[in-house]
Structure 1
């Protein structure tokens, strides 16, 4: 917790109107406070404060507020206003009193939920996504996961929160930046430059179903793409193996929604959810939940042209640069291959990269020197990467973080994106680095500490290193 931020706002009066009562939580980019309005009925609100003052983050924060203020759905949070106070940006939101699904999941005996309960909790979320996707300008959430779904204590429907990396979808728009996404829940297109669409949220919702039903976060899409290209087997463990009591039909629907090629997923959230509900009812004579979303059904054509689909898939298949980390959690390869389940579509087989393909990868220097800044503590220390070995996109080496020695393993793709898992023996959890190799030769990016589910926790910040002399 950032003690400076807490002391500054808590328990003071904000804007001469709101009493700050407590810190509800914080992430890598914002802190949320519980505040009570002194006027009117003295009701509670959530006040979200942006921590990162970079222009890009400011613009994203403002977009999130403006986006939510235009929406009206019971499974989406209400935002009342967005404003600046000095150099800080704030958003006044509806206070939703309740735990998120990740917290509730971990409280279960086996850290998972039965199918019926999973459908009951997620149906409002599926309905909200249909609402978002079928607006005049569709909105893609892009960060669907259990931690972003709150279950109110007062018996209301589940609420989908955190639109920090959402975007308005324009079929003809292009993008050049890799997106932040949560390991295990992010679709493969979020690691490429081809852009995300409605099918990106289908992947996230399916990954959330997979986790809630099995108690296991699915292996990350980037790792899956790499293993398919080099090992010719999808390392995503079949859901039916993790939950033998689950019907093959239900597992098949979820696996289709988790296809790496977006064109092989369902065309819409509505189509996916109806298929899942139908499969679930196949093994039950009496339905116990309302399974059809209430939002108006709107038909649409696929947004990607044939050429666009081929380019997108080609870009994904070029991400063949990842090597498994021995004891690292984020990139750990679980050794399971995909199993056939009824009429599950067969997975395309890809050949091992040739020497020509390997030559497409940019080359790293043997050593790098620079700094790493912990934004949680506002401290900056030294960072060295040495003994770097590279084979195509696969990289590994030694890391020295503020005199603590460890190792890293990861990948550098042909678009110059870099992903690393850093393991330091004395640390409780590994670090996940993501960034890019710039044209000037420097490596820059952000990092966070990750838990056993591959989700960011605790320490987070930015890092930057330059090519250095051999050690």
Structure 2
């Protein structure tokens, strides 16, 4: 594949990333009726999986899972689904997922570039993330992202955030029926029940709170001291009562005590 190559109804404009069996491209839709409309069309991100290079059918399952998840979602904090299709070139079969391009940088890169976030900024981002998780939890069955961490949260150029990479998503019913499936998640951002193969929507709350800790300290939560299996921020950062209440609940290692819902947390963080 190369720049200006046509894939389905899209023209590739720039490669964003490359893995063993998949690549990610910035692209433009060519479905618009006029050249002016095409120029104004939003950029798309194309995830392209080359089946000849796929290590196993598990890669195909993960790819299709993300496509199915995005197709069913509609929220301003989640990339919009555009299309998914199969294409063949030079005898090679490829799966393609087209979604909205979120302009900005992931929070891990932002922090590692030297930017420090003030507590009000962290509260704002955590409230927005809580809104997204409240939406996922309101679905029937609830949808579990399973990999909420700074690398999967984009800080848009407008200042708002978006949660990306739904390749690990699973609904709560499937998780309950098939516990112990392949572990999905990032060290420092997954709670004990997820390690045991029993992720739920409350596991995503833990990842969100751990992300807030990263933004406040600049360190992976796995590197921080603990007390009774819980991250201990004593003497490290001072937080407001409202942010502290959310962190205390969501960072609890016991999922049964992680009782503060995402909707209520967003209200607390906004002082409502």
Structure 2 length normalisation: TM-score?
0.83
Q: Which residue of 1 aligns with 2:16?
A: 24
SS at match of 2:188: coil
Name 2:167's counterpart in structure 1.
164
Matched-pair contact (CA < 8 Å) for 1:257–1:265: yes
- Is the alpha carbon distance of 1:29 and 1:79 closer, same or farther for their aligned partners in structure 2, counting shifts above 3 Å? farther
The alignment partner of 1:33 has SS state of: strand
Q: 1:33 aligns with which of 25, 35, 43?
A: 25
Unmatched segments (≥5 aa) in structure 1: 1-8, 225-232, 278-289, 293-471
Give 3-state SS (helix, strand or coil) of 1:137's partner.
coil
Corresponding position of 2:249: 256
Q: Which whole-Å CA distance do the structure 2 matches of 1:29 and 1:264 have between them? A: 41
* Cα distance in 2 for residues equivalent to 1:125 and 1:268: 12
- Which entry has the higher C-alpha Rg, 1 or 2? 1
CA distance in 2, matches of 1:126, 1:248: 17
SS in 2 for 1:242: coil
Instruction: Please say which of residues 56-65 and 195-204 is displaced more in the overlay.
Output: 56-65
C-alpha RMSD over aligned residues: 2.7
TM-aligned CA distance change 1:76 to 1:21, over 3 Å = same
Task: State the secondary structure of the residue aligned to 1:271.
Answer: helix
Tell me which of the two structures has the higher relative contact order, counting C-alpha pairs closer than 8 angstroms and 6 or more residues apart: 2
- What number of residue pairs does the alignment pair up? 257
Counterpart in the other structure of 2:104: 98
Check if 1:271 corresponds to 2:270. no
Flag the 1:204–1:30 CA change in 2: closer, same or farther, 3 A: farther
Name the residue aligned to 2:83: 81
Which residue number corresponds to residue 236 of structure 2? 242
- Aligned 8 A contact 1:75 1:159 in 2: yes
User: Which structure shows the higher helix fraction?
Assistant: 2
Q: Does 1:115 align with 2:114?
A: no
Matched, 1:210 2:209: no
- Name the CA distance, whole Å, in 2 between partners of 1:29 and 1:133: 32
Does the Cα contact within 8 Å between 2:107 and 2:155 map onto a contact in 1? yes
| 2:123–2:243 Cα contact (<8 Å) kept | no
Contact 1:239 1:251 in 2 (8 A): no
Q: Determine if the alignment matches structure 1 residue 137 to structure 2 residue 113.
A: no
Q: Alpha-carbon deviations, 1:238-274, whole Å to 9, x = none?
A: 224221x334663454133111111111252223444
| 2:9 and 2:31 in contact (8 A); partners too | yes
Question: Counterpart in 2 of 1:149?
Answer: 153
Residue-by-residue CA offset, 1:63-86 (whole Å, 9 max, x unaligned)? 211111111111111111111223
SS in 1 for 2:136: helix
- Aligned match of 1:45: 44
Normalising by structure 1, we get a TM-score of 0.50
Distance 2:265 2:191 in 1: 16
Preserved CA contact (<8 Å) 2:127 2:265 = no
- The farther-off stretch of 258-267 and 14-23 is 14-23
Residues 39-59 of structure 1 deviation map (CA, whole Å, 9 limit, x = unaligned):
412232111123635222212
Counterpart for residue 66 of structure 2: 64
Tell whether the 8 Å contact from 1:34 to 1:45 is kept in structure 2 after alignment.
yes
CA deviations over 1:19-55 (Å, ceiling 9, x no partner): 2121223467743201122341223211112363522
Partner Cα distance (2:123, 2:7) in 1: 42
Residues 120/267 of structure 1: CA separation in 2 closer, same or farther (3 Å cut): closer
- Structure-1 residue corresponding to 2:5: 13
Q: Tell me the distance in 2 between the aligned counterparts of 1:54 and 1:92.
A: 22
Could you tell me which runs of 5 or more consecutive residues in structure 2 were left unpaired when the two chains were aligned.
none
CA offsets 1:94-146 (integer angstroms, 9 cap, x no match): 1111111112222335xx31110112223222111111111122101111111
Quick check: 1:174 aligned with 2:202? no
